[in-house]
């Protein structure tokens, strides 16, 4: 007796795989996305905590009296500046971790609005990392021994301040876009 192999049409095979292969095929991955959003939120919370601690130090370092006392007060500011650099480095790292989780979630099989929301949140969070890095650069200017006069110091700070403001504006635009999508899909999108 001879066996004949019959070809199963590709569409029927695909249907069988979707029905019988859990987690594969066209199944929605909202639950996995929500888990990644939770992880992202935890990373963003840690980033914001480091950012707030760093900004508290930043306000002390960059008080009017300290700015106009520079570079004569550099040695007195170095310890604070080093701590700010550490905190803002950690903040940027945690914001990038959060952004990567949003990005990972946006690549899952989800409805298009949720994917778009997650993609915007990833971009927004990357802008927050960029802001943390730029603010950190301001503290690094205090530590830069090549800056020896007030004019060079102020010019360098102004250049960085412009980048911080630009990233902040872009971050807010991305946040507003994401919030609009979330509001239009209330109850369907986890934030």
pLDDT in the model for residue 20: 30
Q: 169 CB contacts (<8 Å, ≥6 apart)?
A: none
Average pLDDT over the chain, rounded to an integer: 87
Buried b / exposed e over 171-189, threshold 16 CB at 10 Å, is: beebbebbeebbeeeeeeb
- Reading the chain (191 residues) residue by residue, the pLDDT tens digits are 332 333 323 332 222 223 233 344 456 899 999 999 999 999 999 999 999 999 999 999 999 999 999 999 999 999 999 999 999 999 999 999 999 999 999 999 999 999 999 999 999 999 999 999 999 999 999 999 999 999 999 999 999 999 999 999 999 999 999 999 999 988 778 77
Cβ–Cβ < 8 Å for 161, 138 = yes
Residues in the chain: 191
Residue (of 129, 169, 136) closest to 58 by Cα position: 136
178 vs 121: CA distance, rounded Å: 6
Neighbours of 104 (CB within 10 A): 16
Domains, the chain, ordered by start: 30-184 (1.20.120)
Give the Cα separation of 79 and 24 in Å (integer). Answer: 53
Q: What is the pLDDT of residue 187?
A: 78
Angstrom distance (rounded) from CA 91 to CA 86: 9
Model pTM? Answer: 0.83
pLDDT score of 27: 63
Q: Which residues contact 81 (CB under 8 A, 6 or more apart)?
A: 61, 139, 140, 142, 143
């Amino acid at each position: 007796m001879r066996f004949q192999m019959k070809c199963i049409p590709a569409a029927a095979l695909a249907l069988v795989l979707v029905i019988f292969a859990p987690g594969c095929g066209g199944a929605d991955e909202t639950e996995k996305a929500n888990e990644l959003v939770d992880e992202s939120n935890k990373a963003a919370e840690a980033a914001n905590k480091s950012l707030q601690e760093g900004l508290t130090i930043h306000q002390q370092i960059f008080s009017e009296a300290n700015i106009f006392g520079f570079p004569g007060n550099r040695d007195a500011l170095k310890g604070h500046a080093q701590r700010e650099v550490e905190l803002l480095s950690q903040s940027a790292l945690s914001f990038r971790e959060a952004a990567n989780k949003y990005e990972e979630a946006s690549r899952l099989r989800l409805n298009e609005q949720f994917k778009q929301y997650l993609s915007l949140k990833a971009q927004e969070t990357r802008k927050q990392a960029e802001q943390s890095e730029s603010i950190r650069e301001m503290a690094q200017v205090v530590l830069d021994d090549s800056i020896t006069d007030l004019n060079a110091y102020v010019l360098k700070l102004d250049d960085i301040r412009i980048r911080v403001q630009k990233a902040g504006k872009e971050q807010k635009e991305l946040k507003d876009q994401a919030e609009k999508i979330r509001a239009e899909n209330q109850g369907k999108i986890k934030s």
